[in-house]
Structure 1
C-alpha cells in the first residue's frame, strides 16, 4: 500500500471515540519524536514552521515552506500532510508537483487570503483543478475559514464545505468552529471533518471532539509553542546555573 493510500485509510471507519490524531511537526527532530511516540501520520502546521524559520505566520516564502516539508518527510517513514496555506499563488499543476517532490501525501488548503474569505465558487473551481492535477496522489484537506475570517454562521460553513467536497476535497477543516456547533456541521457535511485540538485542558479532548463528530484532530502551531515554553523554562534554569 502506498503512503497516500495508507493515509487515506487512516480516515476511514473511525469510531466516534477514536478520531485520528495528527501531531504537527515543525522540523525533522520533532517529526521523529512524534513517530517514535507511535503516531501513524503527521500534519505540518504552516505557523509552526514559520516560527521555526524566523517568519511571521503567513509570510514564509514558498520555497522555504516546501524545503521544510521535504526535510520533515525525509526524516520519517510515516505519511506526512503539509499545510501550504492558500497555495502561494501557484498554478494547481505546479502546486501538486511541488508537494509530491517534497514527499507530502496530503495538503491543507485555505479558502482565505490575508484574512479575507475567497469566493467559495471560485475556490471550489480551483480545488477541482488541484484534484484533477493530483488524481489519487494527494489527500486534500480543504480549510473552511468562516469561523476565523467570516461571520461564524455554521450554515455558511456547511455551504462552503459542500462545494469543496463536490470539487473533490477528501476532508474539510472548519477551523475555529466552536465545539458546540460540531454536531450541526457533522449533520450537514459529507466525509471526514478536521477539528482543531487544544493542549491546555480548557477545550474538549480529542475523544470528546470525536464523539461530537470530528474525524481527525490537528493542533496547528500549538505543539511548537508548547515546546518553546518548555525550552523557555529550561533556559531560565540554565541561567541560574551561572
Structure 2
C-alpha cells in the first residue's frame, strides 16, 4: 500500500491486486480519516468492547485481560445483543455522548472460545491457531453469520461497565460508581497516545479546530464496576438483568 497526499482534500491510495490486502488497506485509510475527524470535533477514542440494543450502546472497559471480549461475546451469543465493537469505539461529545464504531478483526482468547460451541467450530474452521498472546484472529465477515442482527455502527452511549477478574462469588458483583473511574480515564489516555500518520495532517476535514469545539464529558454516563471470577458464565446474565433494572430507572426510552 502507498499513500500520496494530492491536495488538502484528496489522498491517492495505491493498492495491490490482492482483494483481501486491498480491503485491509482501504479500511485502514477510512478508519484513520474517521478517527481524525472525530478527534477534530472534540471526540475521543476509547479502548473498549461494546454491545447494543434498542438503539443504545453499552461499553465494556478494562485493562488487557480483564474480560472485555468475553463479555461482548457472552452478550452477543447468549443475550442476543447486537455487536458493536470488540476493541475500541469512537466517542462524540454531546448529551447523550455518541458512539461510532468501525468493527475490525476480532482477537478472541482461548478462554472465551472454549465457552461457546459456535466459536470453537469457527476457530477450527479458520485454522489460524493462537498467537503468543493466547488469542486468535477472526474477521467480522467470518463471524457475521453468528450475529443476531447486523452490527450496530453508531448510537448513544447508555452506560460504561468497567470489568475485572477476582474471586467474586458466582454471578459476580456489580456496583454503581460515581463519575468516570480511573479505569475509564486510562482507556481514554491509552488510545490518545497513538501516533497520527503524517498524511492525515494535510487534510482540511481532519484539522483540529481549537475554537468552537465541544468538550467530551462522560460525567452523565452511568458507570458500573463488574467483578467476577474467570469462567463464571452466570455473571453476564446477572449483569444484563441488573443493567436493565438500573437503566430503566435512569433513562427514558426502551430498555437495553
User: Do the structures match in fold with TM over 0.5?
Assistant: no
TM-score (norm 1): 0.28
Higher RCO (CA < 8 A, seq sep 6+)? 2
TM-score (norm 2): 0.27
The structure whose Rg is larger is: 2
More helix by share: 1
